[in-house]
Structure 1
Amino acid sequence: MRTIKNIKARQILDSRGNPTIEVDVITSGNILGRASIPSGSSKGENESFELRDKNKDFYFGKSVLKAVENVNNIISPELIGKSVLDQFNIDKLMIELDGTKDKRRLGANSILAVSISIAKAASKELEIPIYKYIGGLRNNILPIPLVNVINGGKHSNTSIAFQEFMIVPVKSDSFSEAIQIIHRVFNNLKNILNKKGFSTNVGDEGGFSPNVDNIETVLDLILESIHLSNYDPYDDIGIAIDCASSELYDNGMYNYSKFKKRNNTEINTNNNILKSREEHIEYLSFLVKKYPIISIEDGIDQNDWKGWKLLTDEIGNKIQLVGDDLFVTKVEKLKKGVKNKIANSILIKINQVGTLTETIETINFANKNKYKNIISHRSGETEDTFISDLSVAFNIEQIKIGSICRTERTSKYNQLFRIEEEIGKYSTYSKWKY
């Protein structure tokens, strides 16, 4: 019987240099499963609880020593001797051990690190890839990458109101070819920024962070890089944006100038930087008509369900509308969206919900109700590549990893290269469906 012999947690650093938790699970066969947990800067208020120490003398309050202690002293004794193959019941036990709705007692970061480590150890015990262990044998689809090329909002130090601008290779024959296309556009964008005198420093997720004055200028720069790369907008490459609208929402209005204070740049968005719900939706609709935008994430504030309904009715039959802060990877939130016909896709972030079992439940519910799943990283990442395997495990057709620089991002792309090679001639590259 393949049982858990030891569980050991420690504090490490993420891509922003902040502490996070890493967990080792050792089996009776001396097999190691290791996982580390990312962290977001732009968080939905209904995400499961990330436990930090809040002692200002240690990492400005961001240390996770209590989370480490909870794994070593509370979770570990309960799991020693249990079968490493019993993922569902182990996750269920940890949820019950915590006893709170949002995993506040033990910390979702503690629980999730153990949950993923268990799955990794089990796959090694069975000598099969992790994507086959958690997904079964019918997993051969490589996801379309939504690749961050310009960072704004909380992920950069610019005045750009929206948080992410991504390019999407919609007409590739393979994952490898898709990344080659991205590489060309990304580097041509860098050259364009250099020639125009903009900074090519990168933000939290590896996208460039130029000191640009408005959203349309950003989109024009991306469009120019697509043309320079000899690709056609829409046919070859689409644009995806993450508005992170909850960061802009204040007292019923959307404040496009929220990040203006960082410098002296004025944001000129239709000469109106404070927008009502209706004006914000009208502007998003205008952008969709003007640019090859095929996906909008968090177009409306996480609590503005009426606004989400209006946006879905306006453009939900034209493009992909993704709920991130809206759904926070939780079935009960997605059920409300399905019932009210709000959005048509969900972002899957495993640390929003806190266990592998609950993540899979949400993925399956989305599939059942014909909502697209998009596997996603966080802005504060580690070099753990689990989400790459997760995307292939369930034949999920899209993935957000960030840009094609910084090792916490490229490690995940590299894992998908390995999986593509391993599957070989049986691998299939996703086709854009919107």
Structure 2
Amino acid sequence: MSLFIKIIDVHAREILDSRGNPTVEVEVTAETETTGKKITARESVPSGASTGRFEAIELRDGEERYFGLGVRKVVDHVNQKIREKLIGFNVLDQAGIDRIMVEEDGTDNKGNLGANAILGVSMACAKTAAKALEQPLYRYLGGTAAHILPVPMMNVINGGVHAKNSIDFQEFMIMPVGALDFHDGLRMGAEIYHFLRQILNEERLSTAVGDEGGFAPDVKDTREVFRYLQKAVEKAGYHVGDDVVFAMDAAASELYDEETGLYIFPGESRAAGKEPEEGAGEGSAKDYCKDSVKRSADEMIALYEELIEEFPIVSIEDGLFEDDWEGWQKMTKRIGGRVQLVGDDLFVTNPKRIKCGIDLNVANAVLIKVNQIGTVTEAMEAIEMAKCAGYQAVISHRSGETEDAFIADLAVAVNAGQIKTGAPCRGERTAKYNQLLRIEEELKESARYGKAEIIRRK
């Protein structure tokens, strides 16, 4: 007879994320048939600033409170419609739970109930089930094969929409591939982060941090950013390219002007002394339309070729506009054999778009953000599809996070080998790193550090 652990309550509330905006927290309570023991677990939902147009819909209230960003409607959807559907259901049937919610929503993008409503329940059910079985979450999700600790992709310099500075590209990351294990890699990353702070202070540059904990200085261009990273790695006593390699998230869709088909670089424009067109605002690629720094898709690819020749960059995320499949094909053909090309806005953790990318031979890695697709089941399906096609899966946070550490367990569950969860700074980022430390300690001798694929590609 199969085990049945009945859901007896589903409850949501409005809480705050790391940007001080409302988000959803969900508690699920289940009861064992045999003993009547009650188990409760909670999960909370992150939110992105740089979002792909094909992501599942995050519902907001649109009322005066919280500048329209409240989620009371979403809370009501959980506490009424979703709760009514799931009471009495087996919490161990993750696929069934997720299917019920998707069917109740009835849209392709979860725009009825809201992906933030559905995901909160989906994750809370998974955690409640794991707790009921007295298993760690990573073991419940991944089974006995879960044992690889991910290499952290630490976003130590922020730009783009994550920081209102002069840097056009969004994230610049260090990856401690030369570490012996995750504990060692986290230490290396934290040391480099603090040396980077010292260097920026010495140069009288800002050490204020962006949304993901990275510093947000005003520097001339992308090359200057990587030179600062090199200095920090060397000052920390490590070898650039051997102990530590670099990654970047271009977030090119944020720079793309659909009217001209060009990528506009407002930060470089300001650094070059160019003035915005009269009447333009601040902080957007659209601000600089007249005599600004612009690049075509071919010029973007050429820029990446130059950068990976000059610096030990092993991963480039969202290098081109999210709907430029032809450009992505060209980029993959030209540099996909030398660097990991990660699709975030391109794929939005959606199995349909990932399949399209695989069929077109576009990119070679998929960024996994559970709130882009809205259920644990669909996120796991996306990971499996990517891996079966030989694509890497990179587990990722969002810029608006909570202290929830679900993605740390997910990264180990699927043996992803890589995780993006920000700088070694700010509690909502370190919560994930600290959970990975606990998991590595629990796995003991069976734990492995996921550097093999990074080194192979390098």
Task: Please give the range of the TM-score, normalised by the shorter of the 2 chains.
Answer: over 0.9
1:19 and 2:28 correspond = no
Residues 193-246 of structure 1: CA deviation (Å, up to 9, x unaligned): 000000101000000001112111111111111111222221111110000000
Per the TM alignment, residue 260 of structure 1 is displaced from its structure 2 partner at its CA by 6.8
1:160 and 2:180 correspond = no
The AA in structure 1 aligned to 2:436 is: L
Match for residue 412 of structure 2 among 387, 392, 396: 392
Residue number in structure 2 paired with 1:185 = 192
1:103 and 2:106 correspond = no
Structure 1 contact 267–273 (Cα < 8 Å) conserved: no
Structure 2 contact 61–72 (Cα < 8 Å) conserved: yes
Match for residue 46 of structure 2 among 16, 30, 38: 38
Match for residue 254 of structure 1 among 260, 263, 266: 263
How do 1:231-380 and structure 2 match up within 5 A? 231-250=238-257, 251=259, 252-257=261-266, 265-266=271-272, 273-380=293-400
Identity %: 48
CA change 1:277–1:267 in 2 (3 A) is farther
Q: Distance in 1 between matches of 2:273 and 2:336?
A: 27
Structure 1 contact 140–423 (Cα < 8 Å) conserved: yes
Match for residue 122 of structure 2 among 115, 118, 140: 115
Q: Secondary structure of the residue that 1:3 maps to in structure 2?
A: strand
Per the TM alignment, residue 89 of structure 1 is displaced from its structure 2 partner at its CA by 0.6
Q: Secondary structure of the residue that 1:405 maps to in structure 2?
A: coil
Structure 1 stretches lacking a partner, 5+ long: none
Residues 220-275 of structure 1: CA deviation (Å, up to 9, x unaligned): 11111111122222111111000000000003000011x579xx64489xx97111
User: Is the deviation greater in 209-218 or in 159-168?
Assistant: 209-218
The AA in structure 1 aligned to 2:139 is: K
Q: Distance in 2 between matches of 1:349 and 1:51?
A: 17
Residues 70-104 of structure 1: CA deviation (Å, up to 9, x unaligned): 00110001100111111111100100000000000
| C-alpha RMSD over aligned residues | 1.3
Q: Distance in 1 between matches of 2:195 and 2:175?
A: 15
Query: How many residues of Structure 1 are paired with residues of Structure 2 in the alignment?
Result: 428
Match for residue 10 of structure 2 among 7, 10, 24: 7
Q: Distance in 1 between matches of 2:192 and 2:293?
A: 30
Per the TM alignment, residue 33 of structure 1 is displaced from its structure 2 partner at its CA by 1.5
1:229 and 2:249 correspond = no
Residues 260-318 of structure 1: CA deviation (Å, up to 9, x unaligned): 79xx64489xx971111111111111111111111100000001111111111111000
Q: Distance in 2 between matches of 1:390 and 1:280?
A: 33
Per the TM alignment, residue 171 of structure 1 is displaced from its structure 2 partner at its CA by 1.4
Match for residue 51 of structure 1 among 50, 56, 59: 59
Residue number in structure 1 paired with 2:78 = 71
Q: Secondary structure of the residue that 2:241 maps to in structure 1?
A: coil
Q: Secondary structure of the residue that 2:212 maps to in structure 1?
A: coil
Per the TM alignment, residue 15 of structure 1 is displaced from its structure 2 partner at its CA by 0.1
Per the TM alignment, residue 163 of structure 1 is displaced from its structure 2 partner at its CA by 0.2
Per the TM alignment, residue 344 of structure 1 is displaced from its structure 2 partner at its CA by 0.3
How do 1:387-426 and structure 2 match up within 5 A? 387-426=407-446
The AA in structure 2 aligned to 1:348 is: I
Q: Secondary structure of the residue that 1:165 maps to in structure 2?
A: strand
The AA in structure 1 aligned to 2:345 is: D
How do 1:69-218 and structure 2 match up within 5 A? 69-218=76-225
Structure 2 stretches lacking a partner, 5+ long: 32-36, 275-290
Q: Distance in 2 between matches of 1:391 and 1:272?
A: 41
Structure 2 contact 9–83 (Cα < 8 Å) conserved: yes
Structure 1 contact 151–205 (Cα < 8 Å) conserved: yes
Q: Secondary structure of the residue that 2:144 maps to in structure 1?
A: coil
